[in-house]
Structure 1
């Protein structure tokens, strides 16, 4: 079990290296940024070296940014902050490596000249990796002495005081599932999840948030999981979030 846990911890890093290697092969094949004039062995060696080496540097540079609480629920802002932050050290690496493979203009380029193409590649790679490693948005139980989740104030009168089991997006509305029945309110799921802070749960699908205490079982089929909640309610688990929820012990 310990080995499995360690593998889960390094899986994103290994996936990042694999994506970088594939991107390096693609950039070499198309002769990106004017490298098409170089012999194939030099071209492939250069792009694989810079992409895989850059991915290793990015893993270190991105780590403190990925832990920023202010960015964890704002993936676009994280992308905007992380891309230039990792591009800076990678630019230095590319600038030092390039003369080992090329002569002339490429080898004599300044750091400033290398930054724009490195930033473009870093932005693309960062976006891909953020999509691959998206984490479910979690909400947490209220701290001792803390107030109730703000979302509870939005419950229709007939559901006041009910326990929230799940919240399901339906077009521009949300269906609130509780132990006293369900009802619709006009609200976005993303806004609701923010206001559900104070109840332990997570977004398990792009259209569903579920309370952790309401999970009674899980059904698997066709490579997908479905949470069985209180009252027999079924909440689908997106493949995007399945691995993270499993690692958190949801099922």
Structure 2
């Protein structure tokens, strides 16, 4: 996994966990579970250890689930919603099941559960994860999309809406509304990190954000786009058909 992508997701989870409402909610859930003692913990543990156990379970599973969900949101940015939900639920179910099994071995001094014990628990956690993840996304349909992972690679002062990516030797020049910065990577890999930013590759060495194109002109089998910062980028012969399909040129106008 890309370190920058993981770091971006981790920062998001840390920010969420530092919120007062989140802390209070997790403590509340842990206390309620500790007092009720589900899954026979009321018979196996005294009150104080039981409260601590369920607070740890609630906090850790929430953090794990949030981190995996945040990573999947970045990895599957621009991909179908259902694909991200399935992968997120399966990963959360697996990681949380492994964590609970390891914790129970340490706390209750029991042997690792066999598959017949683990699979129903795994299936239940996957189902719960899917319901929670889908519910959170549907409850906030207008929430802003996560920032493109590529922005984590450039200086803070230069971060902003993407305008263009351009290959220069072994580097990629990232152009945003706040300036430009250089990063060491391939253009094809950089394009994978633009997140939900709608864009178009118009040249072997250039990608542009569609909402930053002010004008596009065509001359025979080539073209040029003018961007919001008044810079221009060439459209090569190989990508002229792609640009035409994307609607960059007026319909019915003759080439010239």
TM-score, with length taken from structure 1 = 0.41
TM-score, with length taken from structure 2 = 0.40
Q: Greater Rg, structure 1 or structure 2? A: 2
